[in-house]
Chains A and B, each alone.
Chain A
Amino acid sequence: MTEQILLADDEMTFRENFSAVLREEGYTVRDVPNGT
């Protein structure tokens, strides 16, 4: 099983770019815009 990362950030560009980098590194990423 790959390592799972939850990325929570309200800045969409950062979220999308960084999620892509993380996925490329082999992580399973779930990105969310807020903490609710």
Chain B
Amino acid sequence: MNNFVLHTENLEFGYKTVLTKPVSLNTKLNDIICVIGRNGVGKSALLNTLSGILPPLSGNIYFDGIELKKTKSYERPKFVSFVPSKPEFLMNLTVYEMAALGRYPYTNIFDIKTFSDKNIIEETLKEYDLDNLKTRPLWALSDGEKQRVMICRAVIQQTPLIILDEPTAFLDYIMRKKLLNDLKNLAINKNKCIIFSSHDIEISLKYCTKIWFFIDNFIETFSPDEFINSKIFKDFATFREL
């Protein structure tokens, strides 16, 4: 197990029915992994399973060598933070409140934040240019800003693993590049492992270090170079049915 941040063993996942053959995946710190596949192949199901939202149908998931089933539900958010594809908020939850939710795994039942908790929140908000939006309700923000708040929250959660479900879906071209740049910075400078799904192969290839490709009920692992030279990519690029 050693230094794998995330490691799966014959993992089968899906909503009630199994979506792929058992997969064994592993990732290390500083990895940026892009999950690619057509609509409905189970990208979201995989990401939900890895972040502990969806229980695996069989097989094991290990975080830092510790079996997921054996971790307490309140310990899991210290390993992995999840950024949903279309964030849904309720009422006038403000930017600061959302960011502060990232400290929840570390606070007690009455959510008393220590000085250092508050410091982390303030610093990270500044880092993501959000400190002037602090008191704004989230519904009043643009899609790009919402995405930034969610990522900021994931950073505040201080987990080695960050999983994002289609983070680029609602962003324009410039914003996508900026987002992926941010993710790369996180992976390299802050020593994190990033897993995200995307339909945007071209831009993702530039930034990721590894690709998990859904093909024929199986997940194949490529490096970006391997992927570009693979037959799959050529079929893909010429719009041939996979």
Tell whether A pairs with B: no
